[in-house]
Structure 1
Amino acid sequence: MQLNINPHQLEEQVFGEKELSFTLQDLKNVIPAYCFEPSIGRSLFYFFLDISIIAGLYAIAYSLDSWWFFPLFWLMQGTMFWALFVVGHDCGHSSFSKIKWLNNLIGHLCHTPILVPYHGWRISHRTHHANTGNIDTDESWYPVSESQYNAMTGIEKFLRYKLFLLAYPVYLFKRSPGKTGSHFLPSSPLFRPSEKWDAIASTVCWGLMVTFLGVLTFKFGFLFLFKYYVMPYLVFVVWLDLVTYLHHTVEEIPWYRGNDWYFLKGALSTVDRDYGFINPIHHNIGTHVAHHIFLNMPHYHLLTATEAIKPILGEYYRKSTEPIWKTLFKSAKTCYFVPNEGSPVYYERKK
């Protein structure tokens, strides 16, 4: 006899319990201790490797100066901008090294050239990790309720559900829907009073980069900027939004409200992705479940940690092996809003 069972009912049997059958310490105990120890030499290797590839691609593009080559250059260089961002991402989590000033220095060197305010992003990203899976307090890529969706204007729906792969620059200035403050102003609700000068420092660095790009445009013209910076930057933005969207916007992933949420359960509300040959290029950022559980683990140990914790996680571990384009299309078609009440809740299609 075939049973007609809503797959979300099955999900609730796994994710809807108040308590998990394992703890954070249980997971940590099965991971080799070295996975939690960043290596300055290894971290710097990835930083200099990315910088070298970026410089090499610029040299080739400038030497050829061919419109036949530029589309390939934009794709490759934008991907390397994204890879460099991931190294800065490690700095923001203090998984690049245990030296604060080194993390801040390399973080700014990674993020400023791609117009990311290092401290502003680091702090908002900290909020995201501390509240993953919590509809009320998560920082980015959280769902709207059905009533909120119905209240949105046509242009708001178009921007959120059609142009989401270009959302990141807007997010820096406006944050996510329903939240106020920018990543640049120290008066933003994002920042604690003690973080005022961090915010100012990163905003100044960002401003200097914008000024530098303005000088290049004045000296060489907008076409020069378009060829060598604007297009690679847009590819980087698409990468950033694509990866973040796909790790947190899935029909089968639960979202929680109120007391039904706590850190470990929320951290499991994500999915690992396989980006094929891109995996080592962007430093295995697709290994996302272990990253959300252990925020300060260097990216180069995430694969080892994942294999160690999978037996304990069991059904709580999720990995998609679907082609990225296919899973993107599926999420964009099915993930619009969640029910107004209840916990856990799941994305639903528009009606």
Structure 2
Amino acid sequence: MQSNLAKLNNPLEEESYSGNTEPPFTLQQLKAAIPSDCFMPSIGRSLSYFLLDVSIIGILYAVASYLDSWWFCPVFWLMQGTMFWALFVVGHDCGHGSFSRKKWLNDLIGHIAHTPILVPYHAWRISHRTHHQNTGNIDTDESWYPVTETKYKEMGWAEKFVRFDALLLAYPLYLFKRSPGKQGSHFSPDSPLFKPSEKWDVITSTTLWTLMVGLLGLLTYQWGWMWLVKYYLGPYVVFITWLDFVTFLHHSDPDIPWYRGKDWYFLKGALSTIDHDYGFINEIHHNIGTHVAHHLFLNIPHYNLKTATEALKPILGDYYRKSSVSVFQAFLRSYPSCHFVPDTGAVVYYKSKKELMKQN
């Protein structure tokens, strides 16, 4: 019993390194340890995962339509929403260029995968690139970065509710408003998210997103609101819950350091994420839980991440972070603990609102 409690209080597989220490290896040394074929995407294999996901989604829709029962809806929503999430991960590989070496194919499959689940592919691809380039940097990271203590105190109740209480449903709002302290929208080419050279990419994705919304509106007009709830909104809510849940877990933990200024650089930031085991879901959502290797080398296809991780472990040592508890235990630990970081300090850690109340 005591051992289980200790794991829950510090669920990382090995003793965590201090954020103040410097890794005794370089990014080049880590790359050299990974078999070279891990970096080579296979178009056939990548397409097979995409086609499998689309096929399962089609089969689930056929079954739901055939049964046409509200009793089946909760099961359908859970399964279909999970497959929406799996399809998102395929589009995620496209955005990183790890689906194939052909940009036109990545963009084509990325739009086909993301547009039906209301993700503006190019806009997301660009903002997600910013996240990867700045992971662990309090000032420049793009998603799930901590707010400072001062910012937390300034936030209104509605903003706090969305960020800290309804966080598993926050993704659609992020597309329109970004995160606290950031300006711009994923749908406007004039957003500070984008370079002028990316204008037409953003317009393309926004146009396709708008057409998808229009199609859903047309189908709702034809078949009614209950059709929209039963066949789209239910799975969509499960999908965004998965997206927020997974992203939160990989970047929010009381033991993960966050950096400011010169104390941050890419390698340290990339190491400030955690691998999680999702059980039988691992294969369904394409092993996105192998997140450390993904952040170190984002051009590795999802189907090579496990091999790359095993090759990296001997070199990473204690710098490799993996949760030793279930994802639900990890969430219940981080959810009430990760609210803000101190206003000052080169290397800081999350604090909870309870700690702020004790100070006052």
TM-score, normalized by length of structure 1? 0.96
Residues 127-146 of structure 1: pairs in structure 2 closer than 5 A? 127-146=130-149
Match of 1:55 in 2: 58
**Deviation by residue 1:291-315 (Cα, 9 ceiling, x = unmatched):** 0000111000000000000111111
Structure 1 equivalent of residue 189 of structure 2? 186
**Secondary structure, aligned partner of 1:318:** coil
C-alpha separation in 2, matches of 1:156 and 1:65? 39
Partner AA of 1:150 in structure 2: K
Distance 1:14 1:313 in 2: 14
Deviation per CA, 1:169-188: give whole Å up to 9, x if none: 00000111111110111111
Aligned partners of 1:52 and 1:152: how far apart in 2? 44
Please give the per-residue CA displacement for 1:25-62, whole angstroms capped at 9, x wherever unaligned.
10011110000000000000000000000000000000
For residue 358 of structure 2, what is the aligned residue in structure 1?
none
> How far 1:13 sits from its partner (Å)?
6.0
Over the residues paired in the alignment, what is the CA RMSD in angstroms?
1.3
1:178-327 residue pairs with structure 2 within 5 A? 178-327=181-330
Which residue matches 1:342? 345
Following TM superposition, by how much is the alpha carbon of 1:12 offset from its aligned partner in structure 2, in angstroms? 8.9
**Cα distance 1:155–1:33, how it changes in 2: closer, same or farther (>3 A)?**
same
Which runs of structure 2 are paired with 1:40-51 in the superposition (5 Å)? 40-51=43-54
8 A Cα contact 2:16 2:318, kept in partner: no
Alignment-derived partner of residue 18 in structure 2: 14
Q: In structure 2, what is the Cα distance between the partners aligned to 1:69 and 1:320?
A: 34
Q: 1: CA distance between counterparts of 2:18 and 2:158?
A: 37
Q: Which whole-Å CA distance do the structure 2 matches of 1:285 and 1:155 have between them?
A: 31
- Kept after mapping to 2: 8 A contact 1:133/1:255: yes
Which letter maps to 2:18?
V
Q: 1:344 to 1:73 in 2, by over 3 A?
A: same
Structure 1 gaps of 5+ residues are: 1-6
**By how many angstroms is 1:348 displaced?**
1.0
Residue 117 of structure 1: which of 120, 126, 137 is its match?
A: 120
Deviation at 1:79, TM superposition (A): 0.1
The corresponding residue for 1:4 is none
Counterpart of 2:253, as a letter, is V
Q: Distance in 2 between matches of 1:185 and 1:299?
A: 30
Q: Output the CA distance in 1 between the equivalents of 2:347 and 2:208.
A: 42
1:74-126 Cα distance to aligned partner (Å, 9 max, x none)? 00000000000000000000000000000000000000000000000000000
The count of corresponding residues between Structure 1 and Structure 2 is 342
Please tell me the residue identity of whatever aligns with 2:317: G
For residue 14 of structure 1, report the CA deviation from its aligned partner. 3.3
Aligned to 2:5: none
Question: Structure 2 regions of 5+ residues with no counterpart?
Answer: 1-9, 356-360
| Cα distance in 2, alignment partners of residues 295 and 16 from structure 1 | 25
| Equivalent pair of 2:99/2:301 in contact (CA under 8 Å) | yes
Letter in 2 for 1:215: L
Output aligned runs, 1:85-96, within 5 Å: 85-96=88-99
Counterpart CA distance in 2 for 1:155 and 1:88 is: 32
Deviation at 1:154, TM superposition (A): 2.1
Length-normalised TM-score, structure 2: 0.93
Q: Find the aligned partners of 1:12 and 1:137 in 2 and give their Cα distance.
A: 24
Given that 2:16 and 2:255 are in contact with CA atoms closer than 8 Å, whether structure 1 keeps it comes out as: no
| Cross-structure match for 1:71 | 74
Amino acid in structure 2 at the alignment position of 1:15: G
CA contact (8 A) 2:17 2:318 kept: no
Kept in 1, the 8 Å contact 2:23–2:319? The answer is no
Retained in 1: the 8 A contact 2:16–2:321? no
Q: Aligned partners of 2:141, 2:206: CA distance in 1, in Å?
A: 24
Distance 1:149 1:34 in 2: 45
SS of 1:178's equivalent in the other structure is: coil
Instruction: Give 2:40's aligned amino acid.
Output: E
